[in-house]
Amino acid sequence: MASEQISTQPDTVALARKKGTILLVSGELDKALLAFEVAAGFQAMGMEMSMWFVLYGANCLRKPRSIFSPAKWFGKLRGGAGRTPETDVALQRVVRGLNHDGACNLPLSQLNYGGVGPMIIRHIMRRKGMAQLEDLIRGAQELGVRFTICQICVDAMAFSVPDDLTVEAEVKGVSAYYLEVAAAHYNVTF
C-alpha cells in the first residue's frame, strides 16, 4: 500500500486575496444601503470588492440636484468617458430631468409614500446613530472599494463622468464585468 503524503505547502489559492463583485441595478435607497454595507464590510474583512452600477443604480453616485434645477433640464449634455454626444436624442433630457440624482434623493422600494418614506427612514437612522448612504459611499471609497459604471448606461442616461459624480468611477463594458465576475469568489446583484 502506498502511503499518502500530506502536503505541508500552503495552499496558494487560500493565501490569495479573495475578490467580490456587487452589481447595483436598483436606484432605491434600501437596496443601495444594503449594497454599500456589504461592500464596505467585506472590504474591511479583507476581500477585494468591486461595485458595478447600471441603469438607476448609478443614481446614488450622482451629485444631488433638485428636479427643479435648471442645470438638470437645460444644462449642456457633455461628452466624456463612455459618451457619444453626437447620437444624443431629446428624450435623454427628459430621463435626466426626471431621474433621482444623488444618494439623498433615492426613493424606497416599499412604503415610499411620495418621498415621505425615505425621510422617515433617514430620520430613524440618524436617531439610531446609523450611517447614512452618503457616509457609506464615502467609507467604501476610503476602504478601497472600486466603483465602475456601465458604459452603455453612461451614454444612454447622459452621464458626464466625472462631472456628474461624487466619487471616482471607471467606465467599462460588459466584457470587463464578465472578467471580474469570473475571477470573483462572491458575486451578488441588488
CATH number at residue 52: 3.40.1260.10
Distance of alpha carbon 144 from the chain centroid = 14
Structural domain includes residue 2: no
Q: Pull the grid cell for residue 127.
A: 436617531
pLDDT of residue 10: 47
Does residue 95 or residue 130 have the better pLDDT?
A: 130
- Angle (CA) 157-93-63 rounded to 5° is 60
Q: What is the DSSP string of 24-87?
A: E----HHHHHHHHHHHHHHHHTT-EEEEEE-GGGGGGGBPPB-TT-HHHHHS-----TT--GGG
Number of domains in the chain: 1
Q: Is residue 173 in a domain?
A: yes
For position 4, what pLDDT does the model report? 52
pTM score: 0.83
Quick check: is 86 in a domain?
yes
- Does 156 reside within a domain? yes
**Assigned domain for 68 exists:** yes
The model's pLDDT over 157-189, given as tens digits with 9 standing for 90+, comes to 888 888 888 999 999 999 999 999 999 999 999
In a domain, 138, yes or no: yes
- Whether residue 5 is contained in a domain is answered as no
Residue 135 lies in a domain: yes
Range of the domain at 59: 18-189
